[in-house]
């Protein structure tokens, strides 16, 4: 086992040694053969293979000092590039929703923070709802009492209608008794008159006549009492306003309606009161639901304008970005308006380093020209939802014109000077070398784009010190 491990170790060391030897040979050849132009064109290969210590070793072994390297001249690289219009732009929400509470109150709790993604129906914050809940409990108790009063009023109404039937039957009975009593009284009266004639003729004693008079008075008193009781019953009811052609059930229904107005009104009032309380309970539930501010759509919290414990004041409490969509806005000059069309693709390059290009399309073109700046507002929706993009960020909006142009590129290392005093190149002019100032901008990590000061056929020095 030990021999096997030693064998594997020797084979790996041998492989690493061969790789290192190969890299050393290639690195040495590349260091001595490559020039400045090659190294600028291939920065990654240069970083791996180009090593200064090879030349330092050569200087140490050399017996004589080396002379200054001869200047190397070359023409700039000319390539074609699409022409783009560039404008400073700012990131802003595509659709901004401002949310405010329908109720006044104190903020009880916040459930979200700025920058948080929310879903439709998610609770964002709640208001203090103690008073509304207590009012709701009070209304529920009042509703139970109202239902009880409604039941009692209905029973009283039905009982009153039943009493009407009883009283009508009693009146009918009294009417019959009154007729019978009247007949008996009149009959007794007639007998008394005849008895008086017999008494006058001497056929009847005075005691017998007095007995018949007393009987007549009793019959009259009975008739009078029945008549009075019937009148009392009639005084408690309203039995007029009926037609003779109406049947007794129709008359009875009419009498019930006429004589139970108070009980019916009391019942209808209790029913109305119960309905009012039901509506108030529904309104209380609505108020209770409005103490919760929920997200109307999917989106992202942009700004929270309040804190826990603060009072609402009919101003927006939360601002959110619908669906988290972002846009950029920028201004263009009136001369560039012909290149801008709705739906055209836009490239947005954020200003922070290491950012990726975000694409979008023009959504809206301003409808008027600003008289001061002679510019028109443009808004473009971004396709990608980059998490590192935040509203308020700056960047550059690039729009392709469809045309192409030639650009001149030079290595960064061939350029001398600085931004304060100006950048320049050593340009060959016949047999002479002149110092020529140029205008340039960054093209990539190793090259600069020349804007002015250098032509495509000019020769410039690339191995400057």
Sequence ranges of the domains in the chain: 2-67, 104-126+291-317, 132-285, 325-461
Cβ-in-10-Å burial (0-12, 13-18, 19+) of 287 comes to: middle
pLDDT at position 391 is 84
- pLDDT, greater one: 118 or 82: 118
pLDDT at position 138 is 93
Please give the average per-residue pLDDT across 323-347, as a whole number. 87
Structure tokens at 297: 């759509």
| C-alpha–C-alpha distance, residues 164 and 215, integer Å | 36
Please give the share of the chain, as a percent, with pLDDT higher than 70: 88
pLDDT at position 143 is 92
pLDDT at position 240 is 62
From 391, 395, 397, 329, select the one nearest 365 (Cα to Cα).
329
Q: Which CATH number fits domain 132-285: 3.30.43, 3.10.590, 1.10.287, 1.10.3470?
A: 1.10.287
CATH class of this structure's domain 104-126+291-317: mainly beta
CB 82 within 8 A of CB 403: yes
> Using one digit for the tens of pLDDT, what is the confidence trace for 298-320?
988 888 999 998 888 778 999 99
pLDDT at position 59 is 45
In terms of average pLDDT, the best of 12-26, 34-48, 282-296 is: 282-296
> Using one digit for the tens of pLDDT, what is the confidence trace for 96-107?
899 988 888 899
Please give the average per-residue pLDDT across 38-59, as a whole number. 68
Q: What is the pTM of this model?
A: 0.50
pLDDT at position 72 is 83
CB 379 within 8 A of CB 363: yes
Range 325-461 classified under CATH 2.40.30.170: yes
> Using one digit for the tens of pLDDT, what is the confidence trace for 284-299?
999 999 899 999 999 8
Q: List strand residue ranges (DSSP E) for 95-164, in order.
A: 96-99, 107-110, 117-118, 123-127
Confidence of residue 148 (pLDDT cuts 50, 70, 90): very high
pLDDT at position 63 is 43
pLDDT exceeds cutoff 90 at 198: no
């Amino acid at each position: 086992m030990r021999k096997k491990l030693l064998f594997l170790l020797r084979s790996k060391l041998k492989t690493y040694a061969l790789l290192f030897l190969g890299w050393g040979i290639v690195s040495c050849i590349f260091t001595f053969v490559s020039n400045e132009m090659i190294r600028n064109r291939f920065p990654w290969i240069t970083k791996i293979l180009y090593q200064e210590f090879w030349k330092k070793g050569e200087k140490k072994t050399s017996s004589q000092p080396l002379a200054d390297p001869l200047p190397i001249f070359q023409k700039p690289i000319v390539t074609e590039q699409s022409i783009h219009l560039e404008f400073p732009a700012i990131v802003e929400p595509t659709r901004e929703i401002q949310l405010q509470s329908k109720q006044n109150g104190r903020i009880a709790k916040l459930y979200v923070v700025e920058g948080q993604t929310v879903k439709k129906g998610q609770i964002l914050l709640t208001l203090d709802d103690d008073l509304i809940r207590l009012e709701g409990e009070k209304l529920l108790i009042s509703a139970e009492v109202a239902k009880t009063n409604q039941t009692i009023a209905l029973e009283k109404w039905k009982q009153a209608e039943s009493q009407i039937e009883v009283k009508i039957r009693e009146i009918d009975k009294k009417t019959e008794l009154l007729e019978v009593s009247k007949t008996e009284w009149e009959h007794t009266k007639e007998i008394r008159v005849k008895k008086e004639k017999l008494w006058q003729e001497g056929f009847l004693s005075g005691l017998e006549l007095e007995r018949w008079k007393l009987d007549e008075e009793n019959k009259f008193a009975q008739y009078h009492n029945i008549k009075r009781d019937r009148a009392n019953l009639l005084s408690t009811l309203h039995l007029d306003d009926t037609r003779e052609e109406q049947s007794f059930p129709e008359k009875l229904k009419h009498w019930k309606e006429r004589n139970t107005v108070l009980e019916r009104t009391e019942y209808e009032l209790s029913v109305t009161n119960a309905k009012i309380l039901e509506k108030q309970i529904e309104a209380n539930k609505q108020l209770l639901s409005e103490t919760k501010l929920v997200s109307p759509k999917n989106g992202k919290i942009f700004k929270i304008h309040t804190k826990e414990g603060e009072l609402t004041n009919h101003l927006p409490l939360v601002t959110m970005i619908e669906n988290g969509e972002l846009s950029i806005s920028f201004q263009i000059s009136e001369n560039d308006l012909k290149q801008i069309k709705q739906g055209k693709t836009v490239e947005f390059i954020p200003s922070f380093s290491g950012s990726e290009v975000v694409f979008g399309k023009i959504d809206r073109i301003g409808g008027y020209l600003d008289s001061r700046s002679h510019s028109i507002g443009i808004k473009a929706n971004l396709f990608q939802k980059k998490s590192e993009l935040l509203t308020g960020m700056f960047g550059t909006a690039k729009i392709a014109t469809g045309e192409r142009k030639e650009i001149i590129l030079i290595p960064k290392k061939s350029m001398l000077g600085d931004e304060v005093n100006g950048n320049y190149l050593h340009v060959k002019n016949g047999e002479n070398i002149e110092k020529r100032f140029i205008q340039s901008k960054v093209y990539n990590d190793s090259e600069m784009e020349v804007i002015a000061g250098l032509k495509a056929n000019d020769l410039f020095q690339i191995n400057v010190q």
